[in-house]
Copies of this chain bind each other. A is one copy, B any other.
Amino acid sequence: MKQADIVVIGGSAAGVPAAITARRHYPDKSILLVRKEEQVLIPCGIPYIFGTVGKPENNLIPDGGLINNKIDILVDEVTSLDPAGKSITTASGEKIVYDKLILATGSEPLVPPIPGINKGNVFAIQKDIEYLRHLLTSIDGTKDLVVLGCGFIGVEFADECKKNRDINVTIVEMLNQCLQIAFGESVCKCCQEIEDALKKRGINIVTEAKLEEVLGSDKVTGVKLSDGRVIKADALIVGIGVKPNIALATASGLEADPGFGIKVDSNQRTSDPDIFAVGDCASKFSFFTGKPSKLWLASIATYEARIAGANLFNTRRKNQGVIGVFSTAIDGLTVGMAGMSAKGAKDCGFDVAVGEAEAPNRHPDGMPGMAKMWVRLNFNKSNGEVVGGAICGGTSAGEVINIISACIQKKMTADDIATFQIGTHPAVTASPIAYQLVNAAEMALKEMR
């Protein structure tokens, strides 16, 4: 029998920062992280294994952060949890007693109940190194790849699989545009720009299409759409979302919902006061409405981990609700989103004012690396506070969306943002006169006065 003051189950974007945060806040406690993988993949980096970085071994979370923080690592699968006895049992028969436990068991891919979905060469993305090695070999032998779903996973997998391969890639999407769910608008500049970039790369995009059947005998040979169209395919990647891993929690009597995850309060505490849950496996609520949220992102996992890790023995931090901040990039074109879309905010009953601004991200625009950057901000008219934003531009857009996140978090008004104290430089930002964030706020004010 082992014992540790703090046990963390899971070694990815939730478990690692939970353990490290626990170390920072409780320097004298013993901490054990239990994970089933020998090596852990960077979850967001998985699509890049198939093109840019080349193999799973180039996309690993290094163990240095854990080791340097004196966190013990046990590679084993946790098979049961006994909240009353404050212990867990592993596949190898080890019993481990804890004082505080953090569940960071993650999520697994959704697989739609379509006829033929279990045929060979149909892949839903498991975060497992062996699985991905096999998938990589399969893609290398593929001539016609179909990707189901044009969310982030779909966009990134399609683009990466196309790189350095003579291969036909077709994305099949139910909605009328790429990334529609993420950006939450029926007409969306960011979605359109990404769609155009993918098409320019030679990727076929079939929207407003429902997959009805996976064709083939043992292995996939094609997919049939509900309108009767058939698309040739010798491999199918399914990227339509995830569901929380709650089996361990529910088996031990913790409250959980299959759709929303293990129930936690705003301190990340489950229905057992000594057990916390963070990341994809844990329930979430919206920063804006307080309602349950299905935003599963690695960055949200780290946010919750930094709350739980600090709260284990003293309640120090509170989850304010998830904002949802994300970005993706195709060939230098970067799009991002934070908080609510204008449509999403209206659907929640907000009276919304929108402001947009576009300008080069260098000044003068002859400076190297120049790209146009477009920013949209969505404000709640009733109090003037920013509730969301979207961005489309060059690489630095990936950090500008984080400025917008800061504005949302601190409930900045349009006037606050219009008088935001920016730093600018010819080689790295827009000019201070044209700075997009500030001007988008000014444009929204026109609707608000």
Contact = CB atoms under 8 A, between A and B. Distances in A.
B298 A424 contact: yes
Nearest to A445: B24
A13 interface: yes
A401 to B, nearest CB: 5
Given A316-B415, A317-B415, A419-B317, A424 B53 contact: no
Contact of A421 (B317, B325, B329, B438): B325
A175 interface: no
A245 B412 CA distance: 34
Interface stretch (A119-127, A130-138, A205-213, A426-434): A426-434
Nearest to A401: B423
A416 B319 CA distance: 11
A215 to B, nearest CB: 34
B368 A52 contact: yes
A424 B299 contact: yes
A369 interface: yes
A51 to B, nearest CB: 11
A338 to B, nearest CB: 6
Given A400-B399, A412-B410, A328 B425 contact: yes
Interface in A372-411: 395-403, 405-407, 409-410
B364 A298 contact: no
Contacts of A431: 13, 42, 44, 61, 298
B326 A45 contact: no
A105 interface: no
Given A13-B432, A44-B425, A299-B423, A403 B410 contact: no
A156 to B, nearest CB: 9
Interface string A316-354: 110010110111110000101110000000000000000
Interface stretch (A77-85, A187-195, A236-244, A302-310): A302-310
A270 interface: no
Given A24-B445, A369-B395, 5 more contacts: A13-B431, A13-B432, A25-B449, A42-B431, A405-B422
Nearest to A409: B421
A274 B194 CA distance: 50
A432 to B, nearest CB: 4
A420 interface: yes
A446 interface: yes
A421 B363 contact: no
A124 B424 CA distance: 23
9 contacts: A17-B433, A42-B364, A44-B424, A48-B367, A395-B395, A401-B423, A403-B403, A406-B406, A410-B412
A43 to B, nearest CB: 9
